[in-house]
Amino acid sequence: MADKISISNLNFFYGKDQALYDITLGIPEREIVAFIGPSGCGKSTFIRTLNRMNDTIPIASVKGEVIIDGEDIYSPGTDVVALRRKVGMVFQKSNPFPKSIFENVAYGIRINGIHTSKSDLNDRVEKALRDSALWEEVKDRLSTSAFGLSGGQQQRLCIARALAVEPEVILMDEPASALDPIATQKIEELVVQLKSEYTIVIVTHNMQQAARVSDRTAFFMLGKLVEYNKTQKMFTNPEEKLTEDYITGRFG
C-alpha cells in the first residue's frame, strides 16, 4: 500500500540552529504512527512540519520534502488553509473556544462552508461528537459552555472539532499527557477506533501508550531519526542499541 505521507531528507532550522536532521520516513494510510523520544528531541517540531504549523514562527525554515497524496506540501502555491483542513491537529493542552459545545464543533464547518443547511450542520456536529465518543455525554447540554466539561471531555471536544471538517490525517501532540488515567484510556480507545477512517500521527512521552495504540513507532534523539519500525518489533527486538537503551529506561 502506498504511503499517505512520505518525508524525504527533511531538515528544519530555527534561524541558524538546526532542530531536525535528514528525516526520511513513510506513513502508511490508515495506520497509527507514534513518535517517541526524550524531551527536546524534535518530535513536536517534526509533527508540526506535516501541516506547516511551524510557518507561524518567523525564523523557522525547512529543507526537504513532505509529500501527502503525491503533492509536496512545501511547494510554492500550496493552499495552506486547505492543507490544514486535510491534516488536522490536536494539541497537548485542550484548547476549546470560549463558546458553547455545539459552536466549538460547528466553527470549522461554518468557516469552511461545508454544510448545505441548518439540519446538515446539526448532523455534521452530531457525527463529529459521535466519532469522538462524546455525543452521549453532551447531547443534552450542547448550548452550554465548553469550559464546563472535564479535562478529558474538553480534549475529546477538540478532537471532534478537528474531525468536523473531514480531515484525512490527524496529528496529535501528546493528547493525553495532561489527563488522568481514566481519561487517557478513553483517548487511547478513541484513537484506535479512528484508525479505520484516518491516518493518525501521535507524539507521546508514554512508551506504554505507543506500544498500546500504534502500528509503527519512530524513535527520535537529538533531532535525528534513530529507528523507525513496526511497533511490536521495536519494543521486543529493536535494531539499534540506542533504541533498546531508551525503551528499557537506561536514559530518558
252 pLDDT exceeds 70?
A: no
In a domain, 44, yes or no: yes
In a domain, 89, yes or no: yes
How many domains does the chain divide into?
1
In a domain, 55, yes or no: yes
Domain around 176: 3-247
CATH of the domain at 72: 3.40.50.300
Model pLDDT, residue 159: 94
Indicate the pairing of strand 169-173 with strand 216-221: unpaired
CA-nearest of 231, 176, 208 to 28 is 231
* Mean pLDDT rounded to a whole number for the chain: 94
- Quick: pLDDT tens for 144-191: 999 999 999 999 999 999 999 999 999 999 999 888 898 899 999 999
- Quick: pLDDT tens for 19-50: 999 999 999 999 999 999 998 899 999 999 99
72 pLDDT exceeds 90?
A: yes
Contact (CB, 8 A) for 225 and 234: no
In a domain, 252, yes or no: no
> From CA 143, how far away is CA 221, in angstroms rounded?
45
- Quick: pLDDT tens for 87-108: 999 998 889 999 999 999 999 9
In a domain, 38, yes or no: yes
Of the chain, the percentage scoring pLDDT greater than 70 comes to 99
Model pLDDT, residue 130: 94
C-alpha cell at 112: 469552511
In a domain, 207, yes or no: yes
- Which pLDDT band, with edges at 50, 70 and 90, does 59 fall under? very high
CA-nearest of 198, 199, 174 to 188 is 174
> From CA 194, how far away is CA 188, in angstroms rounded?
10
Rounded to two decimals, the pTM is: 0.94
Could you give phi then psi for residue 63, rounded to 5 degrees?
-125, 145
